[in-house]
Amino acid sequence: MTETTVEHVRSPLATPPEETPGHGLLLGRKVVVTAAAGTGIGFATARRALLEGADVVISDWHERRLGEAQEKLAAEFADQTVGQVVCNVQESAEVDALITAAAGELGRIDVLVNNAGLGGETPVADMTDEEWDRVLDITLNGTFRATRAALRYFRAVEHGGVIVNNASVLGWRAQRGQAHYAAAKAGVMALTRCSAVEAADFGVRINAIAPSIAKHPFLAKVTSDELLDELASREAYGRAAEVWEVAATIAMLASDYTTYLTGEVVSISSQRA
């Protein structure tokens, strides 16, 4: 009996497209993005919001990288507001101060993007309490703290708003070494659904994205290039998402194109082949 070898044909979508230009989806909106320093989804989201016409405040715990990100964005979008607030999402007081400071600088807040999260790669049998607690505290508890602060703000000002959370397909899928991260992201999904039901009472929509893999330099620091390449090769496109592709979906969820959508988790994935 002869074995049949299945050859994977390279997808015509394997080459990333050019970044889509802005279309004014967030014109005049005031947007806050957490964990926006560096080269990842947070920075790309802040840039996309600016491309779509918003004024933005970015936050991160790393003051130097945050300042560099702010300078880069301000140079590209000189006619728009690009503020910065140092914030550690593990501290409730700092998260509350972020919302207060952003509202003061922007005049109001229309959109909060909860992007802060921490990963890693450790088998459960070898994982320490400290590793588990740190990933859960930043990724899930940090999203809770920022959501709570934003909802208190939106409830008080009574002009409605939008919150977009960054989850992950690992909230659904199983992957070795990712129990802490997957548990945290599944928690973000549940938090999104439950808080959305409550937030509807005062005109706030809350949704989440769940990217499969968006490769950027920071990701390579917490896992191996070999694993990232393997995961990307399993996608139907045979590649990881560009961070701007993830950011564009966040902008859509923050815009008036999704006014009848809340409590949902939108997967950003080309599906595993």
Question: What span, in angstroms and rounded, lies between the C-alpha atoms of 55 and 51?
Answer: 10
Q: Residue 225: what residue type? A: D
**21 domain-assigned:** no
8-state DSSP, 235: B
Q: Is 181 a catalytic residue?
A: yes
Which tokens go with 121?
């790669």
Helix (H) / strand (E) containing 205:
strand 204-211
Q: Point out the residues of the chain with pLDDT beneath 70.
A: 1-9, 216-224, 227-228, 272-273
Sheet holding 55-60, edge to edge: 82-86, 55-60, 30-33, 111-114, 161-166, 204-211, 265-268
Q: What is the pLDDT of residues 223-262, one digit of tens each?
A: 667 766 777 778 888 888 899 999 999 999 999 999 999 9
Residue 138: give its domain's CATH number.
3.40.50.720
Predicted pLDDT at 217: 65
**44 domain-assigned:** yes
**29 domain-assigned:** no
Range of the domain at 217: 36-268
Exactly one of 181, 237, 257, 260 is catalytic; name it. 181
Predicted pLDDT at 27: 98
Predicted pLDDT at 219: 58
Provide the domain count of the chain: 1
Question: What span, in angstroms and rounded, lies between the C-alpha atoms of 216 and 237?
Answer: 17
Predicted pLDDT at 272: 65
**52 domain-assigned:** yes
**2 domain-assigned:** no
